[in-house]
Structure 1
Amino acid sequence: MSQTQANKTLQFHELELDQRILKAVAYLGWHQPTLIQSTAIPLLLEGKDVVVRARTGSGKTATYALPLIQKILNSKLNASEQCVSALVLAPTKELCRQSRLVIEKLAESCGKVVRVADIAGSSNDAVTQRHALSERPDIVVSTPSKILAHAEAGGVVDLKHIETLVVDEADLIFAFGYEKDFKKLIKHLPPIYQAVLVSATITDDVVRMKGLCLKNPVTLKLEEPELVPQDQLTHQRILAEENDKPAILYALLKLRLVRGKSIIFVNNVDRCYKVRLFLEQIGIRACVLNSELPANIRIHTISQFNKGSYDIIIASDEHYLEKPGGKSSSRSDHESSSSRGIDFQCVNNVINFDFPRDVTSYIHRAGRTARGNNKGSVLSLVSIKEGPVNEAVENKLRSTFAAQADDEQIIKNYQFKMDEIESFRYRAQDCWRAATRVAVHDYRMREIKSEILNCEKLKGFFEENKRDLQALRHDKPSRTIKVQSHLSDVPEYIVPKALKRVIGSYPRSAPVAKQPRTSAAKAAFERRSNDPLMVSQVDKFSKRRSAPKRKKKAI
């Protein structure tokens, strides 16, 4: 059965939700439900099995979380005992944590009536997981393998009382190697329960999963494009070869042509660290996210970025999905695709330093920005060899936004003249060459060493083997790249003439170093510094502050 788009979008207060849930929704600042929420929530409240397909950033997590909480509140009115009544499955620890946080925020006004436990979290301690399950939370969030291990062990968790099964990012579950675990887990569930599959795409894996756990489901395929409209998300590109990309990135970030929170995407893990070391040399702070980092580090990195501790995150997209039958599909802690599922908050820009290898990856990367009602941009650096994929992406976007003329470019050419950044090239190339394979290897070894020294599980081992701890601490130091402070400054003479009037707040040298002393003067100075239209006044202010005082003539 296929459900088409409703004629009228229902509001939250029209969805028959509890007042405590509506209070939490209002606190989160959600003014009205998204299209998928207003369509799916009434069906889920009726108890139907539903396959929810909606684009990234459309509010899929809240789509199943709101009716799930409502269902638990209703059942608590006549419940005779506390039990686990809902199971939410997700393919990675990051997505499990993300789902738990959303559910907790929506259930915050319910007090302790609705309890949630995430046993996939950053801790792999089986004792901690058993303790969480022994308290019989209403909702358990987990990867299929973790909850299956406890179900087979018996005694701790009883899944026979499950009333609702939710599979988030359903198209990734089998692709990440959980198919056998999922089939075993289904056998531990009661014969009758409500099932919800949530996915950005409906693949063959989702169809097979639907046959395993859904009965007469409603499939929601809303009439909406895979990406948000162009007035909300702009697509731009710069035609650049490999040796041009460092200089372009240098100019974009140091001249602040790209502002706000940004995700820089590359195609493999080593490139993550190479770009990270490159940015470090030019004085730009950034964090790294890739599948080879331990789960707790990945979760902490995402949290720090979302909190605003970093404005730039460098993420790799290793394409586990493109080879579901190959080695990359084997389940381990390595599976984490930064372009899928993870809710990076308030991202203004996606920069494709390496152009994605296929159309699907481009769409998922672009989905990291312009989420909700926010605006965003995608800027791609495209070389000649990446041209065919770029053309395929543009054709896909043209078919998605059918109203566009055939001869009109969907991915606009960014107005960027390579000859105007020649003065940046020698600086950028020096920094890029310094980030050698050896430097990347040393940086990663230093990161692993730090993780070992800070690991809680190894504290007991090091207490009994102090010589090993001393050897690790006094190991040969890494050959780190020498950071040259002058490279982080952009002298005024290398700034293109066309940009000097509009940049306004590129890094300067000595004159700006002298800040006004009073708090009021400082605030006024900062306002003028951040206003591109006030550049000339900032310069006058700086000169006036830095000019030597004239001595009064003796009378």
Structure 2
Amino acid sequence: MLRRRSESGVYTHLKMAAEGLNFAHMGLDWRLLQAIAELGWAKPTLVQEKAIPLALEGKDLLARARTGSGKTAAYAIPLIQHLLQVKMSPSVTEQAVRGLIVVPTKELGQQVAQMMRQLTMYCARDVRIVDISGQADMAAQRPILMEKPDVLVGTPSRVLAHQQGHNLSLQDSLEVLVMDEADLLFSFGFEEDLKNLLCHFPKIYQAFLMSATFSEDVQALKELVLHNPVTLKLQESQLPDSSQLTQYQIRCELEEDKFLLLYALLKLSLVRGKIILFVGAIDRCYRLKLFLEQFSIPACVLNSELPVQSRCHIINHFNRGFYDYIIATDEEVLAEPKQKPKRKKGAKTAKGKDQEYGVSRGIDFQNVSAVINFDFPPSVESYIHRAGRTARANNPGTALTFVSNTDKNLLAEIEEALAGDSGETVLRPYQFRMDEIDGFRYRCRDAMRSVTKQAIKEARLREIKEELLNSEKLKTYFEDNPRDLHLLRHDKPLHPAIVKPHLRNVPDYLVPPTLRAIARPLISKHKQRKAQPPRSSNLRGGFRGGRNPLRSFKYAKRKRQTQAKSKEAA
């Protein structure tokens, strides 16, 4: 099923196939349908409903859909269906790499490979998927590539390196090319790698470009990769509507107010469930983590300095419910630079940051109840992709943004972009009385004083050293002992700052009266023991045997004194 030349056209969802189409009507293999049922997908999303039938016809696709709309399955299902049909053909006898999925980040590569494996759970022997996007040694990946898996997932630089190292040959075998998050491929510095990689492809193949936006980079890729494509411009908002995603803003006059507000929201459990906290820089990650540690609130840090194995492990465990809070940074990777820097050889910069890193785009954080923009997003696109981490797959979610006085202009831009012609306020003011939590302010100031620059520096170095140890030196051990890997946690206290035990608990008198009905402050174990009833069934009136030990002590003392006086008199 190679590329069939199709007439160029722009299809909207109003001009496409009849509504109500489900997976069973698409002519998919029964093994695919069984895997889809196992995943619990009752019906296709809008992008899946429109893209899958066109892809099954062999047409090139350029699809734009908002984050969290199901774009991965929109290209994964037709790709697997194509491979199953090829395997059933009697004329095909040789094993070859027929599918290539190019992604901008290693985290997204692991996620895509996981999704592909879930969809091939009933045909894993017929369709083999390999993810080469990680930082594993190329020599270690060579034997896997020699087996010629059916689908490869990788970043452009890694695929090109294997191609140039003669570990991989796509010239005669490639049939389907997918470029996921296409608008990020150039902005992550892969322009030269992509152009060199395209020279190793055959002249005829089917191609999909999936993107959240139609930027200039996507148009450039369209000219390089696609031939007479069908363009899907789905008429949907960039974020879910207000019935699914609730968006709030809250004004913070001082930097201290941000920490005070976050303390109240988390410590009183006013915001519950899994939460992603976005900050603007790596130092801010560790400052916030150390601040929360003062109150015994564990949190993971996710940034570009951590090894890719650690980042993928953190995301995987967060999705499985091991952690409730992640402090992440997008480090302005989505901001439009005036001049795009050329990426040097190697994935990391001189400071050790991984340029193939992006947490606010592409990554599927599952069941996130809220996104908190602790630091204001640097652009409209950044806000959209941060907020898009919650309210996914028809689940409700909340996006809460802290707004300082210097962020008002950016806030106006975001409001204008999201409101469109309606002119309505999208980020509603969060009705919270800061004066009611002023009783907690001295605690926050005490904690903030403990988080010094030196403490942040030490925490940053310690975290990186520990994660490097876990990801490199213990790699072989974890391969032999996978259960120990599941026990590895990334939210352990770093403790370079002085932790004061009294900050762990929230006294009842500090909880505002208006919040006592809904707040659930953490109660210490000592406090719980005091509240428990006496264990012995012989207690009466709270004392064993019905006697007050203090009174018994006084009575015994007086009795001894009387006996001593009588002896002296005798």
Structure 2 counterpart of 1:318, one-letter code = E
Between the two proteins, the alignment pairs up a number of residues equal to 506
Alpha-carbon separation, structure 2, partners of 1:546 and 1:184: 86
Per the alignment, residue 444 of structure 1 pairs with 460
481, 499, 507: which one aligns with 1:491: 507
Q: Contact between 1:398 and 1:410, CA under 8 Å: does it hold in 2?
A: yes
Q: TM-score, normalised by structure 1?
A: 0.86
Alpha-carbon separation, structure 1, partners of 2:267 and 2:303: 25
Per-residue CA distance 1:330-349 (angstroms, 9 max, x = gap) = 57241212211111111000
Alpha-carbon separation, structure 2, partners of 1:305 and 1:193: 37
151, 156, 164: which one aligns with 1:144: 156
Alpha-carbon separation, structure 2, partners of 1:358 and 1:217: 30
TM-superposed CA distance for 1:250, in Å, is 0.5
TM-superposed CA distance for 1:547, in Å, is 8.5
TM-superposed CA distance for 1:381, in Å, is 1.0
222, 227, 230: which one aligns with 2:239: 227
Alpha-carbon separation, structure 1, partners of 2:71 and 2:200: 26
Matches within 5 A, 1:283-298: 283-298=296-311
Per the alignment, residue 289 of structure 2 pairs with 276
TM-superposed CA distance for 1:548, in Å, is 2.8
Per-residue CA distance 1:263-311 (angstroms, 9 max, x = gap) = 0011111101100111111110100111122211111111121111110
TM-superposed CA distance for 1:459, in Å, is 10
Per the alignment, residue 8 of structure 1 pairs with 19
Q: Quick check: 1:173 aligned with 2:204?
A: no
363, 374, 384: which one aligns with 1:353: 374
Alpha carbons of structure 1 residues 150 and 552: separation in structure 2 relative to 1, 3 Å: closer
Structure 2 counterpart of 1:235, one-letter code = Q
Q: Quick check: 1:391 aligned with 2:399?
A: no
TM-superposed CA distance for 1:207, in Å, is 0.6
Structure 2 counterpart of 1:228, one-letter code = P
TM-superposed CA distance for 1:448, in Å, is 2.9
Q: Contact between 2:105 and 2:358, CA under 8 Å: does it hold in 1?
A: no
State the SS of the aligned residue for 1:448: helix
Alpha-carbon separation, structure 2, partners of 1:63 and 1:233: 23
Per the alignment, residue 219 of structure 2 pairs with 207
Q: Quick check: 1:337 aligned with 2:358?
A: yes
Alpha carbons of structure 1 residues 547 and 151: separation in structure 2 relative to 1, 3 Å: farther
Alpha-carbon separation, structure 2, partners of 1:155 and 1:379: 47
319, 339, 345: which one aligns with 2:332: 319
Per the alignment, residue 369 of structure 1 pairs with 390
Alpha-carbon separation, structure 1, partners of 2:547 and 2:467: 66
Alpha carbons of structure 1 residues 455 and 398: separation in structure 2 relative to 1, 3 Å: closer
Alpha carbons of structure 1 residues 50 and 479: separation in structure 2 relative to 1, 3 Å: closer
Alpha-carbon separation, structure 2, partners of 1:385 and 1:118: 43
Alpha carbons of structure 1 residues 279 and 546: separation in structure 2 relative to 1, 3 Å: farther
Of stretches 325-334 and 279-288 in structure 1, the one that deviates more from structure 2 is: 325-334
Q: Contact between 1:489 and 1:509, CA under 8 Å: does it hold in 2?
A: no
Q: Quick check: 1:48 aligned with 2:59?
A: yes
TM-superposed CA distance for 1:95, in Å, is 0.8
TM-superposed CA distance for 1:411, in Å, is 1.5
Structure 1 counterpart of 2:77, one-letter code = L
Q: TM-score, normalised by structure 2?
A: 0.84
Per the alignment, residue 529 of structure 1 pairs with none
Structure 2 counterpart of 1:56, one-letter code = T
State the SS of the aligned residue for 2:204: coil
TM-superposed CA distance for 1:485, in Å, is 1.9
Q: Contact between 2:309 and 2:471, CA under 8 Å: does it hold in 1?
A: no
Measured on the aligned residues, the alpha-carbon RMSD in Å equals 2.5
State the SS of the aligned residue for 1:315: strand
Per the alignment, residue 260 of structure 2 pairs with 247
TM-superposed CA distance for 1:514, in Å, is 5.5
State the SS of the aligned residue for 1:270: helix
TM-superposed CA distance for 1:441, in Å, is 0.7
Alpha-carbon separation, structure 1, partners of 2:104 and 2:97: 20
Which stretches in structure 2 are left out of the alignment for 5+ residues?
Answer: 1-8, 349-353, 477-493, 549-570
Per the alignment, residue 427 of structure 1 pairs with 443
Per the alignment, residue 127 of structure 2 pairs with 114
Q: Contact between 1:491 and 1:508, CA under 8 Å: does it hold in 2?
A: no
Alpha carbons of structure 1 residues 278 and 505: separation in structure 2 relative to 1, 3 Å: closer
Alpha-carbon separation, structure 2, partners of 1:546 and 1:299: 58
33, 42, 56: which one aligns with 2:44: 33
Alpha-carbon separation, structure 2, partners of 1:347 and 1:272: 19
Per-residue CA distance 1:476-532 (angstroms, 9 max, x = gap) = xx9811212211210101000111122245536744336879xxx9xxxxxxxxxxx
Of stretches 228-237 and 384-393 in structure 1, the one that deviates more from structure 2 is: 384-393
TM-superposed CA distance for 1:216, in Å, is 0.1
State the SS of the aligned residue for 1:207: helix
Structure 1 counterpart of 2:172, one-letter code = K
Which stretches in structure 1 are left out of the alignment for 5+ residues?
Answer: 461-477, 522-544
- Structure label with greater radius of gyration: 2
Alpha carbons of structure 1 residues 419 and 45: separation in structure 2 relative to 1, 3 Å: same
Q: Quick check: 1:129 aligned with 2:141?
A: yes
62, 75, 81: which one aligns with 1:64: 75
Structure 2 counterpart of 1:414, one-letter code = Y
Alpha-carbon separation, structure 1, partners of 2:166 and 2:531: 66
Alpha carbons of structure 1 residues 455 and 344: separation in structure 2 relative to 1, 3 Å: closer
Q: Contact between 1:175 and 1:324, CA under 8 Å: does it hold in 2?
A: no
